[in-house]
Structure 1
Amino acid sequence: MEDLRALSYGLGQQYFEERDYRGAIRALRPVVEETPEDVGTRLLLARAYYHAALLKPAEEQLLEVLDREPTEYYAHLMMARTLERQSRAEEAGKHRRIAAALTGDDELLKPHNA
């Protein structure tokens, strides 16, 4: 089963790199269901959802990542971008501030389209 999971993850990563985000979602979703504690795979799935403009599922995956790894700065940044795309700038600001504090990079305070 480990080999199948690794194969699915590799396929998901390849689809993501080729910008086939829906293909990445199809490959990664079963991996995340089987290994919910795998934050890296869940974050890649969230990114695929985001790029496929499936913002609610992206937000749900990011909430899971942040629940497991509250200091994962990139998850905070992705959450901010996801919320901004949903016109939820006030909520996004909190995640931008956390990402900036975790990295020391004040550039992260600027909205993605700025």
Structure 2
Amino acid sequence: MTTEGTVEAFRKAESLVAQRRPLEALQILEPVLDIASDKPSVQLLAGRAYLFSAQFQRAELAFLRVIELDPSDHYARLVLGRTLQRQGRLSEAQTQVRLAATMYPDPAYQEALGEINAHLAVANAHE
């Protein structure tokens, strides 16, 4: 695949993820992952597609790879937290979303953290 073809495939996959068509996006993204697995943007897009298709373990691995490549990526931490939350791993999710909200004090991040905190409070009340 040429550089131009890789960019085109990435953009097409990005569009499909935005349209909530993650399985199609992953098919198109597969050769891009083979070539550019060390690119945070490629891993982030793959992680989002995995998350949207409920492939939580794959999503987690992709988001962890983004954080390994770029520890300052607050969005990767947010979606990693959401992925962990979907797996019922609330304490781990809280840690990642808290970090994301600290790095990037956006109301949406605070809302996500509040949601996880509420789930944890309910879970702790039932123990």
- Identical residues among aligned pairs (%): 30
Q: Which has the larger radius of gyration?
A: 2
| Match of residue 107, structure 1, among 95, 107, 111 | 111
The whole-number CA distance in structure 2 between the counterparts of 1:80 and 1:93 is 7
Q: How many residues align?
A: 113
The whole-number CA distance in structure 2 between the counterparts of 1:2 and 1:69 is 23
Structure 1 residue 108 displacement after superposition: 4.2
Pairs within 5 Å for 1:25-40 = 25-40=26-41
Give me the TM-score of the superposition, normalised by structure 1: 0.90
Match of 2:121 in 1: none
The whole-number CA distance in structure 2 between the counterparts of 1:59 and 1:29 is 17
Give me the TM-score of the superposition, normalised by structure 2: 0.81
1:94 aligns with 2:98: no
Q: Deviations over 1:42-91 (max 9, x none)?
A: 10110011001110110010010010111101100001100010000011
Q: Which moved more, 1:51-60 or 1:31-40?
A: 31-40
**Structure 2, unaligned runs of 5 or more:** 119-127
The whole-number CA distance in structure 2 between the counterparts of 1:52 and 1:8 is 19
Moved over 6 A (4+): none
Pairs within 5 Å for 1:7-18 = 7-18=8-19
**Structure 1, unaligned runs of 5 or more:** none
